[in-house]
């Protein structure tokens, strides 16, 4: 019983912390306008405004290539979102090299348009 109460207390404490703000309640134009751990999701690359959405972690490397609005090809859409890129279209970006994986999100990338 003490373990259950202790676990419940930790869940409630985490829910009340300032980082627990619901990311989807915030309009944005760029990811810098979103809470830590979130990115600015847009429906299309041309949209001026989007909404903050929780950034995924531990994306798989399953290949379903997308072209991010930043002109970078990502191995799948989860990796694109993990890299804070607002939107994508199916397929590789024209002139881009091999698809970027999640590990590449935090390394400088060459961008193509």
- Rg, C-alpha atoms of the chain: 17
Sorted by where each begins, the domain ranges of the chain are 20-106
Reported as a single tens digit per residue, the pLDDT across 62-110 is: 999 999 999 999 999 999 999 989 999 999 998 877 788 776 676 544 4
Q: What pTM was computed for the model? A: 0.68
Residues 33-54 have a mean pLDDT of 92
Cα dist from 1 to 6, 39, 52, 66, whole Å:
9, 39, 38, 48
Tell me what the pLDDT averaged over the chain comes to: 76
Say yes or no to pLDDT of 37 above 80. yes
């Amino acid at each position: 019983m003490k373990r259950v109460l202790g676990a419940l207390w930790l869940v409630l404490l985490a829910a009340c912390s300032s980082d627990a703000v619901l990311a989807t309640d915030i309009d944005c134009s760029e990811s810098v306008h979103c809470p830590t751990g979130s990115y600015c999701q847009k429906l299309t690359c041309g949209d001026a405004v989007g909404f903050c959405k929780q950034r995924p972690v531990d994306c798989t490397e399953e290949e379903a290539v997308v072209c991010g609005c930043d002109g970078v090809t990502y191995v799948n859409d989860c990796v694109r979102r993990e890299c804070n890129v607002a939107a994508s279209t199916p397929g590789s970006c024209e002139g881009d090299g091999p698809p970027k994986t999640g590990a590449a999100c935090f390394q400088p990338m060459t961008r193509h348009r």
